[in-house]
Amino acid sequence: MNLRPGNPRMHAVRKAALGMACLAALNLAGCGKEKKAGPEQSLPAVTAIEVAPRNVPVFAEYVAQTQSSRQVNIYARVSGFLDRRLYTEGATVKEGQVLFQIDPKPFQVQLDQAEAALAKQEAALEVARTNLARTKPLAAENALSQKDLDDATGQFQSTSAAVDQAKAQLETAKLNLSYCTIASPIQGVTSAALQQEGTYISQQNSQLTTVTLLSPMWVNFSISENEMQNLRSQMAKGLLRAPPNQSYVIEIVLVDGTIFPHTGRITFADPSYNAQTGTFLVRASVDNPTGILRPNQYVRVRLKGAIRPNAILVPQRAVQQGPKGHFVWVVTKEETAEARPVVVGDWLGDDWFILDGLRAGERIVVDGGLALRPGAKVALRPAGPAKGGPVKGDK
């Protein structure tokens, strides 16, 4: 086709080409303006808190078992038939309250015999004394021989010794009679009667019952060698401070999680380790006026009084686990993210002790750290400080 100037077809083609060129130019200009006017990429928003060291009370918790501070087995001291049981099994008895009565009649007869024997010996002593009194002046005047004086003196001394022997036998008879009445030496809770009324009590079955003192109550728990070494190491590094004079307070947690209303104090620590368990025994004494605690009961004890000086606590959600261990995101002065390795300790509620890796005044990310990368710019949102309080310590 021949397209010449002035040709109508040529004019139409040129007009169409010019329109398409203008449309393309407009499209290119519009795309450029849209790209230039688009929003800039937003920074990751994170919540951060400032590290603020403070002294935090800590405690260690152990499994413990209660023990009566005084448990007395009641035995019969004489043999005889058990007449009566005078207490209610399982009841609380007072000191001096009568528990059992052994048939006293045979022992009353022995007492009467001992009294008669004493009276007989005292009469013989009086005769010997009178005889000696008559013999001495006569022997001095040679009216009686020296042998007569020696015989009178020996008779007096022999009867005097017999009187002393009769007095001892009388005291024994009185004691045996008193042993027929068996009383409690302490105030406490009684166990079941091991012998029933009418039983003949002898050396083979002389135990009658047990009386257990409930207050104060002992609480025994064990600390392993590793735990002790860990505590000593932390104290040597200044990470843990013992209470003055090692006066720890013992708090008891009952089986349902409630706290026993009375606290105790450590009264004994075994100086030697148990060779089988590698632990040593610690004993605390606690008042138990209402008898809530009973012997051989399992409880948990909290050893309170220690302090972590200048401790750093951070929320647990701020600590992440990486291939090389725990780390937190620290916000630098330039408001960029820095991954900081940390050494973690124990926890307190929703917070975690940081033993190493952070300093006072540094800012750490508590929310929004999962998407961070080292060196990334961040947009900060403020957060309140972590709460503190007593915390379970290293064991």
Summarised one tens digit per residue, pLDDT across range 119-157 is: 999 999 999 999 999 999 988 888 888 998 899 999 999
Count of alpha carbons within 13 Å of 246, Cβ hemisphere only? 5
- Domain limits, CATH 2.40.30.170, in the chain: 59-69+217-308
In the CATH hierarchy, which top-level class contains the domain 46-54+310-392? mainly beta
Is the pLDDT score of 37 beyond 60?
Answer: no
* Residue 103 CB neighbours (<10 A): 16
Q: Are strands 45-50 and 379-382 parallel, antiparallel or unpaired?
A: parallel
DSSP secondary structure of 282-351: EEEEE--TT--S-TT-EEEEEEEEEEEEEEEEEEGGG-EEETTEEEEEEE-TTSBEEEEE-EEEEEETTE
Q: Is 370 exposed, middle or buried (0-12, 13-18, 19+ CB in 10 A)?
A: exposed
Count of alpha carbons within 13 Å of 123, Cβ hemisphere only? 6
What CATH number does domain 77-212 carry, 3.40.50.1400, 3.40.1160.10, 3.30.110.30, 2.40.50.100? 2.40.50.100
pTM attached to this predicted model: 0.70
Tell me the average pLDDT of the chain.
Answer: 86
Dump pLDDT digits (tens) for 70-89: 999 999 999 999 999 999 99
Tokens 């090692």 belong to 246
- Taking the C-alpha atoms of residue 51 and residue 173, their distance in angstroms, rounded to an integer, is 82
DSSP secondary structure of 220-284: EEEEEHHHHHHHHHHHHTTS-BPPGGG--EEEEE-TTSPBPS--EEEEEE-SS--TTTSEEEEEE
Structure tokens at 78: 């004489």
- Taking the C-alpha atoms of residue 260 and residue 255, their distance in angstroms, rounded to an integer, is 10
Q: Is 141 exposed, middle or buried (0-12, 13-18, 19+ CB in 10 A)?
A: exposed
59-69+217-308 has which fold?
Elongation Factor Tu (Ef-tu); domain 3 (2.40.30)
pLDDT band at residue 38 under the 50/70/90 scheme: very low
- Domain limits, CATH 2.40.420.20, in the chain: 46-54+310-392
